[in-house]
Amino acid sequence: LIIKEGTKCIADSAIWSTKIYSLTIPDSVKSIGDGAFVNCNFSEIVIPKSVTRIGQAFKACNELENVIISYGLTSLPSNTFDGCGSIKNITIPASVKSIGEEFLGKDGFLVNDYDYKKVTIKGLKGTVAEIFAKNKGSKFIALNPTTIPENVLYLDKDFFV
């Protein structure tokens, strides 16, 4: 699924139980609502730098393994990825200043608290990402300020501005 460039908001409950194996969110999106993606099958999501608000956006996306949040988002509320029990890696930028106590919500069955020990959190040393990882027992990988994740295919104009 490629969301059309120019889209500003992905509304609450936008996409339910569809066989979406790939998702591209354009840089025009500023907000992702609660339950915007429920029971979708994509394995990776990149939240673009244009997104400044995200709700409890991803629910029961059980194939989701890798999450990259671009610089711009300032908070991750509790249950942002509720029921996405397969998440293995999440990159959290220094722009994020607060993370909800249970931002990964419950496990894939929506019953048990998420096992943060099976998640690797990547971010800059000394940021909220590192503190959160240590408090939850997650593995933390410190990125150099110029480290670009290996799955990035291109860099936007003014990327380093």
Q: Helix, strand, coil proportions of the chain in percent (round to 5)?
A: 5, 25, 65
**Rg, Å, the chain Cα set:** 15
Return all residues near 145 (Cβ < 8 A) that are at least 6 apart: 124
φ/ψ of residue 132, rounded to 5: -60, -45
How confident is residue 85, by pLDDT bands cut at 50, 70 and 90?
confident
Q: Catalogue the long-range contacts made by 58-61 (C-beta closer than 8 Å, 24 or more residues apart).
A: 58/82, 58/84, 59/35, 59/83, 59/84, 60/84, 60/108, 60/110, 61/37
Amino acid at 154: Y
What is the C-alpha separation between 155 and 142, in angstroms, rounded?
Answer: 21
Range 108-113 average pLDDT: 54
Strand, helix or coil for residue 40: coil
How confident is residue 22, by pLDDT bands cut at 50, 70 and 90?
confident
Range 129-158 average pLDDT: 84
Q: Both tokens of residue 103?
A: 């931002």
pLDDT in tens, 41-69: 899 999 999 999 999 999 888 899 999 99
Q: Write down the pTM of the prediction.
A: 0.84
Question: For the chain, how long is the longest CA-to-CA vector?
Answer: 43
Question: What sign results for the dihedral spanned by CA atoms 143, 69, 93, 105?
Answer: negative
